[in-house]
Chains A and B, each alone.
Chain A
């Protein structure tokens, strides 16, 4: 069972990278939707997705790297964790706002 821990770590990293890539793909399509359809709701959806998946992932990787390389102490782990959570919240708020913009557009239309 000793060998299981690195494998689980590796799988967790792979899954995290995968969700970051898929999240960025959706964010990219939302950005293209903004360019192609001039739909303001897509701006916030794209920004939210990129913040939620791209920026937080990058921050987590950078944080882990800095701790692993002893650039910062392990105590900073909680700081990075807090930052990631705050950015996730900000990303979700942007997506929720985008949803309201899209819904508002439909009400004005009807």
Chain B
């Protein structure tokens, strides 16, 4: 029986506080995403056409689930299913975008830049190159969390 690999659902604990120096030195590797997800999880995600559309669209500009549902031509719940898996695999980042009425929309930004499978020397290895978190975005996020 083949079981589709799904990323383990991360407990919804608040992220551990980051060392304040990270803000200035630019070393913003989140400890929870230091390990790449399994290859089957990644390949399972990349195999999905809508996942690829979501990653491509959010690599150009931050988009909300509603906007992504329009781009993919699927329901918002279908978008949320994929977005949750992508966020769990640290391939997608969540951000907030203020609305004119003072509320905030959650928008998504692609966090992956490159996926590499290396077959060499009797081993198969893979790496995910993630987009570097921007200092200005981190400052905006931290300031809002005070």
Within 8 A of A (CB), among B127-146: 134-137, 139-140, 143-146
Q: Could you say which of B136, B137, B139, B144 contacts A105, with CB atoms under 8 Å apart?
A: B144
Decide yes or no: A37 and B103 within 8 Å by CB, A102-B144, A103-B146 being known contacts: no
Number of A-B contacts (CB under 8 A): 62
Report yes or no: B144 in contact with A36, Cβ–Cβ below 8 A.
no
Report yes or no: B98 in contact with A39, Cβ–Cβ below 8 A.
yes
Residues of B within 8 A of A39 (CB): 98, 140, 143-144
Q: Could you say which of A32, A38, A41 contacts B144, with CB atoms under 8 Å apart?
A: A41
A29 to B28, CA, bound (A): 15
Residues of B within 8 A of A37 (CB): 95-97, 136-137, 140
The answer to whether A42 has its CB under 8 Å from any CB of chain B is yes
The answer to whether B104 has its CB under 8 Å from any CB of chain A is yes
Chain B interface category by residue count: 10 to 19
Residues of A within 8 A of B146 (CB): 99, 102-103
The answer to whether A70 has its CB under 8 Å from any CB of chain B is no
Report yes or no: A29 in contact with B139, Cβ–Cβ below 8 A.
yes
Measured CB to CB, the closest approach of chain B to A33, in angstroms, equals: 4
Report yes or no: A38 in contact with B98, Cβ–Cβ below 8 A.
yes
The answer to whether B102 has its CB under 8 Å from any CB of chain A is yes
A interface SS class: helix
A17 to B68, CA, bound (A): 47
Residues of B within 8 A of A51 (CB): none
Report yes or no: B140 in contact with A98, Cβ–Cβ below 8 A.
no
Report yes or no: B136 in contact with A40, Cβ–Cβ below 8 A.
no
A50 to B58, CA, bound (A): 32
Residues of A within 8 A of B96 (CB): 37, 109
Q: Could you say which of A36, A38, A109 contacts B136, with CB atoms under 8 Å apart?
A: A36
A3 to B131, CA, bound (A): 52
Residues of A within 8 A of B143 (CB): 30, 33, 39, 41-42, 45, 98-99, 102
Taking Cβ atoms with an 8 Å cutoff, the residues of A that contact B are: 26, 29-42, 45, 98-99, 102-103, 105-106, 108-109
Can you list 12 residue pairs at the A/B interface with Cβ under 8 Å? Answer: A29-B135, A30-B136, A30-B139, A30-B140, A32-B135, A33-B136, A37-B137, A39-B98, A39-B140, A99-B143, A102-B144, A105-B144
